[in-house]
Amino acid sequence: MNDIVKITSVKKESADTKTFEFKMDGKATAGQFVMVWIPGVDEIPMSLSSTGETKSITVKAIGEATKALHELKKNDNIGIRGPYGNGFKTKKKDRILVVGGGVGIAALIPLIRETGADTVIGARNKKEVIMEDETKKYSKNVWVSTDDGSYEYHGNAVQLMKEKLAAKKYDMVVACGPEVMLYYAHKECAELGIECQMSLERYMKCGAGLCGSCVIDGMRICEDGPVFDCKQISKLKEFGKIKRDPSGAKVSL
């Protein structure tokens, strides 16, 4: 689908993060993303934070396009292409622990809604914790970590994840967040022999497998991902270390 849609609501999640709802026909699955065109500015990838008839994206303002998106109001138009990517693949019997760091929790909400999985939310501090109430609507257990200890568990999301995995209640971790968090979460899962699926990010242009700008070790994040499992991630030498800038040059993460 490739369409201009009207923003139907804007919700402030924190000082720098907002959720934008819009109506879009067609099926989307948990973990898929759309390319969002902000008229006159740029087109950028955003995970869907709702996948029903009313869909949503949850956007952290970090640069030109995301800041311009934050200026938009109800009834303003944006362009949407997609949904793209593979999404999460889970089975009913999987005992899942979801781990969302920063704005990464937004991409996991559709999966949490479908599975009711227990969830760890990680943030730098209390003010940056987002979507806790939304998560609590679906997850039986929601635990929050803050790096500075200003709310709930004092430590990072991976430390809290390790504590929860020690109870041996889970056989799969599903995660989205900063790559440094995913790097250590993957390391832990690999050591413990626990299945994992993680949503990765790279700079994207086409979003549809054509341009090669999102490649990591020969895999296109937009087409082969953005969700990769533990075994696939173990083979990615650039994971946690190198990304590509808009010109395609490799730079340190």
By the criterion CB under 6 A, which residues form the site for ligand FES?
204-207, 209-214, 220, 222
Q: Report the half-sphere exposure of 156 (CA within 13 A, side-chain side).
A: 11
In the numeric block, which tokens belong to residue 9?
A: 């609501």
Residue 1's binding partner, choosing from ligand FAD, ligand FES, none, with beta-carbon cut-off 5 to 8 A by kind?
none
| Residue 107 vs 165, nearer CB to ligand FAD | 107
| Residue 41 vs 72, nearer CB to ligand FES | 41
| Residue 44 vs 117, nearer CB to ligand FAD | 44
Q: Residue 199 pairs with which residues in a beta bridge?
A: 176, 227
At 47 the three-state DSSP class reads strand
| Residue 18 vs 186, nearer CB to ligand FAD | 18
Chain CA centroid to CA 243, Å: 17
Give the interface with ligand FAD as residue ranges (CB under 6 A). 33, 42, 44-47, 57-60, 62-66, 103, 106-107, 201-204, 226
Chain CA centroid to CA 245, Å: 20
> 55 with 28: CB under 8 angstroms?
yes
CB-based contacts of 44, cutoff 8 Å, min separation 6: 35, 36, 38, 65, 66, 204
| Residue 166 vs 249, nearer CB to ligand FAD | 249
Smallest distance, Å, CB 196 to ligand FAD? 17
Residue 116's binding partner, choosing from ligand FAD, ligand FES, none, with beta-carbon cut-off 5 to 8 A by kind?
none
CA distance 66 to 81: 17
> 151 with 173: CB under 8 angstroms?
no
Residue 107's binding partner, choosing from ligand FES, ligand FAD, none, with beta-carbon cut-off 5 to 8 A by kind?
ligand FAD
Smallest distance, Å, CB 156 to ligand FES? 29
Smallest distance, Å, CB 223 to ligand FES? 6
Q: Report the half-sphere exposure of 42 (CA within 13 A, side-chain side).
A: 14
Cis peptide before 83 (omega within 30 of 0): yes
Smallest distance, Å, CB 177 to ligand FAD? 11
Residue 146's binding partner, choosing from ligand FES, ligand FAD, none, with beta-carbon cut-off 5 to 8 A by kind?
none
Residue 163's binding partner, choosing from ligand FES, ligand FAD, none, with beta-carbon cut-off 5 to 8 A by kind?
none
CA distance 67 to 173: 32
